[in-house]
Amino acid sequence: MASTHDPAVLVLEDGTRYEGRAYGATGRTLGELVFATGMTGYQETLTDPSYAGQIVMMTAPHIGNTGMNDEDEESARIWVAGFVVRDPARIVSNFRSTRSLDDDLAAQAIVGISGIDTRAVTRRIRSAGAMRAGVFSGDDYRLTPGEQLELVRGGAEMTGQNLSGTVSTETGYTIPAVGEEIGRVAVLDLGVKASTLRYLAERGFEVRVLPQTATAGEILAMEADALFFSNGPGDPGASDRHVDLLRTTLRAGLPYFGICFGNQLLGRALGYGTYKLPFGHRGINQPVLDKATGRVEITAHNHGFAVDAPIGEISESAEGFGRVEVSHVDLNDDVVEGLNCLDIPAFSVQYHPESAAGPHDANYLFDRFAEMVRQHKRGGSRSEAYRDPAEDAASKESQA
C-alpha cells in the first residue's frame, strides 16, 4: 500500500498548521479546502468532477476500508486536488475491491495527508469558512513554514474561476436509450457524472453528451427534445457564455433540467444572482424540503455556491421567462435547493438526484423530467408536466 510514515503538513491560508503523515502521492498540492460529511462513497467523491480544484477532507474518521473498484467511478479519473483523512484503512476488506484507495491516489499523483484531527479542521472551516490550503510532503515538507504559507496564499481562490473547460469532454458522444425511446436530450457536460447519464438513458432518452464549448445554434440544430446542464466545479458567476446559451434555448422553447451547477446557471439565466456559501454543502446526508409535497428528502450535495432567489413567494423572472418559485429548500440553513419555472418547461435542483454516492430519495426527479418532455411533445401545459410521478402513482392507487 502507498501510505507511509513520512511526515506531511496541511497548511491553511490563515496560517493554521496540522502535522500528519503522507498519504497517496508525496509532494505539494494547493486548492480550496472543503469537507465532505458522507460516511461512505469516497470513491464517487474522488471521481466527481465537481471537486476539481479542491482539497477534500472526509469528516468520517475511517476511510479506505472498502478499497477501490472499476464500477463505482463517476468519471475516468480522480479530480480532487488533494485528499485529507484521519485514519486510513490498513487492510482492504470488500469482495468488490480490486485495489486500495491509497494506491490509486499514488498512481494518479494525488497528494494527501492522514493522521490529523479532522474534527478540529472541520470546526475551523465552519467558523472561518472554506479557505485556500496546501498539503506538503517529501521535499516540500522541508520548506520553511513561511515558504509554505506563501505558496498557499498565492494559490487561486474559487470565486471567479471557470473550470468547465478543465472537466468537460473534448468531443461529443451518444448513449442510446434503454427500452422505448421518448426523445433525444442534449447534455452539456460541465462535469457530468456517469450515473447521471445512465439514469437519463434508463428513462428512455437518447443521450447526446456535448462539450462545454457547444453553442446554442449547435444544440438547436440537432433537434433535441430537451436540454440538460450537469453538475460541475467553479463559480457560476464566471460562466456568462453558458448563461447566454441557456437563455437562447429557453426562449426557443426547449425543455430544461439542471442539477447542481446547472441549477445555478438556470438561476442566473432567469435573472437571479448567485453567491458563495461560507463552507458549502458536501456530503450525502443533507435534509431538503420539497415545498410542493411537504416531503423531506435526504440528499447528496456538492456545492459551494447558491442561487439568491426569494423563498416562500412566486417571483417574476427579470429576463422575461415568467413566474418562478423556489421548489426546494435546505433545512439546515434555508439555502435555495431548487427552482421551478411556472410558465416555461424548466426546473432544476441544487443537489445530486443521481445518488452517487448517496441516498435515493430524489431519484424521482429523472422521472419528472421525462414526464415533462412527454407532456411538452404532446402540447401539454407546464403545470401538467411538473406533476410528481410519485403523486400520480398514489392517486391512481387511491382511485382503484
List residues forming the annotated binding site for L-glutamine.
50, 232, 234, 261, 264, 302, 304-305
Catalytic residue at 260?
A: yes
Please pick, among 73, 352, 371, 376, the residue that the annotation labels catalytic. 352
Half-sphere exposure of 169 (CA within 13 A, CB side): 18
Please pick, among 13, 44, 74, 354, the residue that the annotation labels catalytic. 354
Burial of 44 (0-12, 13-18, 19+ CB in 10 A): buried
Cβ count near 39 (within 10 Å)? 16
CA 84 – CA 128 distance, rounded (Å): 18
Catalytic residue at 354?
A: yes
- The binding site comprises 50, 232, 234, 261, 264, 302, 304-305
CA 366 – CA 191 distance, rounded (Å): 18
CA 308 – CA 315 distance, rounded (Å): 12
From 221, 176, 231, select the one nearest 356 (Cα to Cα).
231
Contact yes or no for 201/207 (Cβ under 8 A): yes
Dihedral class, residue 41 (left if φ above 0, else alpha if ψ from -120 to 50, else beta)? left
Please pick, among 206, 260, 325, 376, the residue that the annotation labels catalytic. 260
Q: Which three cell numbers stand for residue 395?
A: 392517486
CA 51 – CA 308 distance, rounded (Å): 22
Catalytic residue at 281?
A: no
CA 306 – CA 190 distance, rounded (Å): 17
- Using only the alpha carbons of the chain, give its radius of gyration: 21
- Please identify every residue annotated as catalytic: 260, 352, 354
